[in-house]
Amino acid sequence: MTKISDILAAGPSYSFEFSPPRSAEAEAQFWVTVDELVPLAPSFFSVTYGAGGSTRELTRDLVTRINAEKGVTAMAHLTCAAHTRKELHDLIVSYRDGGVVENLLALGGDPPVGYDGPPGELEFADELVALVREVNDFSVGVAAHPEPHPRSASLTEDRAHTAAKLENADFAITQFFFDAHHYFDLVGTLAELGCDKPVIPGIMPVTTLGSIKRMTELQGSEFPGWFADRLYAVEDKGPEAVRAVGVSVAIDLCKELLDSGVPGLHFFAFNRATALAALEIHQSLDLGK
């Protein structure tokens, strides 16, 4: 399959990210959703990696099958937390030897809730990028935080750390955000630091009030007052009204980003509802094939 670094070099990318299903019923729905998105000719799919490697084999199997059967490039996420260096090395080798996975997203990650074992032999994503490079010539991405990472001491420190991660990586995908100025500040500061690697904005379609409040709290990002006001204004009209506002806001954000010449859009399609919303946004923007 194609390396994402080559995809980005050829022009803007349009991609979708999934979480591994946790039941047989969810897995059946996962493949239905994948098949609905394939006709859009996405640049790539990506599959997340459960905390502490809780979906290690499943993530690998899903990415391998997408690459082999669906005609779409797929990228596997990989995290440092709660892993030995050997465990990570062996998993990377399994991707290399499988021969159908050429793209990895290297993340620091978090240990599972309640985990009391060793934190992991690699602490930061740049260490994982270096390990991947030792094993094979994968196309390697990292995460970027527009607002910034909740564990960073300051915005300045976070931007410097992101630039350092990108020195040995090929591209970054951001966490979601709702005000475009956060993204513009991120890429502008990275440029000042001498980093010109592609940074793909991550787009989260909001379909329910409860879920987005939880997710913004978890990743330490802002849930803007103007957006909350628009959602709460239609809350009594039912979930479809809330979803419509969320999709409309995402479309406007994507238009602003596309007008600025971003290297692509990466849609978070973690469940059936967000995947269908992402599909609607993609079609509304007429991103084509």
Alpha-carbon separation of residue 10 from 26, 84, 95, 276 (angstroms): 35, 37, 25, 27
Active site residue 17: yes
Query: Contact at 8 Å (CB) between 164 and 126?
Result: yes
- In sequence order, what are the beta bridge partners of 140? 104
- Given the residues 17, 102, 127, 147, the one annotated as active site: 17
Q: Taking the mean position of all CA atoms in its chain, how far away is CA 115?
A: 24
Cα-Cα-Cα-Cα dihedral sign, residues 183, 187, 192, 193: positive
CB-count exposure of residue 115 (10 Å: 0-12, 13-18, 19+): middle
CB atoms within 10 A of CB 117: 9
Q: State phi, psi for 193 to the nearest 5 degrees.
A: -85, 5
CB-count exposure of residue 207 (10 Å: 0-12, 13-18, 19+): buried
Query: Contact at 8 Å (CB) between 55 and 49?
Result: yes
- Residues that are catalytic: 17
